[in-house]
Structure 1
Amino acid sequence: MSRIQLVIFDLDGVITSTTNEHFKAWSLLFIKHFGIHLSSELESYTKGVSRLDSLHVLLEKSGIKLTDQTMIEKLANEKNLIYQELISEFDETNRFAGVMELLDYLKSKSVKIALGSASKNSSFLLKRINLANKFDYIVDPSGLKSKPDPAIFLDAMHQLKLNPDQCIGFEDAIAGVEAIKSAGILAIGIGNEKLANADYHFRSLKDIDYELLEKLIEG
């Protein structure tokens, strides 16, 4: 295995959490337009996927048939405005424990850091929690296929002119881990949920085994 040159992070559920804000935005949207209160059980279907894909799933699960693409895009954009308002008060206190330590450690090892999120709000959110300057590259998911397709991780790898065996990906969702593995990259799962396909798994970034990480980085 080559020396690791790049670590690619998912954002939501790994570095910070906006899960509640995302689903609250969807819930407010569906109440306003359809008079429907979304069940909390539907939240898992929106995790780690794009805004439009989330909307299609929620419409289907709610028994709503909507084929007007203009209306679909209007709803997705309105949801985003609600979401942006909800996260506008985010700051450094919304970072997960262990994030700064890990990013600083990677910098000390001369490892580049990229963000591979499906969210088009990722740059805005990184600025809100004061981490934007820690990242060498932020993937723009516009026009890229959603996870579990590997496109987001491949974009980061190709932009920095690296090969799969020079990269590590951090994810908290099954679709994200599948995307990392499909890109041929070593996957580290984060969170309470055991991610079957991940090569390694930790409950959070503060639980990272740095001895193991150093061995992985040095190849």
Structure 2
Amino acid sequence: MIDCCIFDLDGVIVDTAKYHFLAWKRLADQLDIVFTEENNELLKGVSRVESLNIILRLADKTLTEEERVSCLERKNTWYLEYIHRLDRSEILPGVEKLITEIRGRGIKIALGSASKNAVIILQQLKLMDMFDVIVDGTQVSQAKPDPEVFLNAAKDVDIDPQKCLVFEDAVAGVEAALNAGMYVIGIGSEETLHQANFVLQDLQNQTLDQLIERL
């Protein structure tokens, strides 16, 4: 019995990875670090601070704490510029239809994202009213694969974690959901997300009954 569905944001509801990449690439260029789209895959589901650490390790580069703070602020400023251009056309296929169906069934819907800009993104997409609870990077201290973000979402809607279904596109997110004792559907590559209960390429043409039956 599923009483709550928890959605990750980036890569599940909307593809903001391209905007993260543009912002990180801009920063890496300033730091004289080669940063490719392949390198960007290492940052999926990872916090902003750890993402900077990964980029610095690519060139074995170190920064002072003041320089690190400045880098993180610059990256976020650029990223915010990009996401303020978002509109409803960028909602990923099948997502809004599935969320609408879930709400119609009286099942709780939560957001569980590492993003600190989740509210801004949902506002741009005009999806804020679809969620009972939003738990994002401003409200948790532990990054995925720690289950904190998902456990907090379950707690906020007063639902047993074992009755929650998570939609995730990142390895760390799948692990976090499993660590929380929840069901998890991977969105993306079967090879990458094989730990999930099952994996879909996207949510297009998916119904809740179909998903629950496969669980």
Using the alignment, how far apart are the partners of 1:165 and 1:88 within structure 2?
A: 36
Equivalent residue number for residue 98 of structure 1: 94
Q: What is the CA distance between 1:215 and its match in structure 2?
A: 4.4
Using the alignment, how far apart are the partners of 1:172 and 1:112 within structure 2?
A: 20
Which of 194, 209, 212 matches 2:210? 212
Equivalent residue number for residue 118 of structure 2: 122
Using the alignment, how far apart are the partners of 1:215 and 1:112 within structure 2?
A: 19
Contact 2:189 2:199 survives alignment (8 Å): no
Q: What is the CA distance between 1:36 and its match in structure 2?
A: 2.8
Q: Which consecutive unaligned segments of at least 5 residues does structure 2 have?
A: none
Contact 2:111 2:136 survives alignment (8 Å): no
Using the alignment, how far apart are the partners of 2:212 and 2:58 within structure 1?
A: 44
Q: What is the CA distance between 1:203 and its match in structure 2?
A: 1.1
The question of 1:163 aligning with 2:160 is answered: yes
One-letter amino acid matched to 1:204 = D
The question of 1:145 aligning with 2:142 is answered: yes
Equivalent residue number for residue 14 of structure 1: 12
The question of 1:131 aligning with 2:122 is answered: no
Using the alignment, how far apart are the partners of 2:158 and 2:208 within structure 1?
A: 26
The question of 1:29 aligning with 2:62 is answered: no
The question of 1:62 aligning with 2:62 is answered: no
Figure out how many residues of one structure are paired with residues of the other and give that number. Answer: 213
TM-score by length of 1: 0.91
> How much identity, in percent, do the aligned residues show?
38
TM-score by length of 2: 0.93
Q: Which consecutive unaligned segments of at least 5 residues does structure 1 have?
A: none
Aligned to 2:116, the other structure's residue is in SS state: coil
Q: What is the CA distance between 1:201 and its match in structure 2?
A: 1.6
Contact 2:190 2:199 survives alignment (8 Å): no
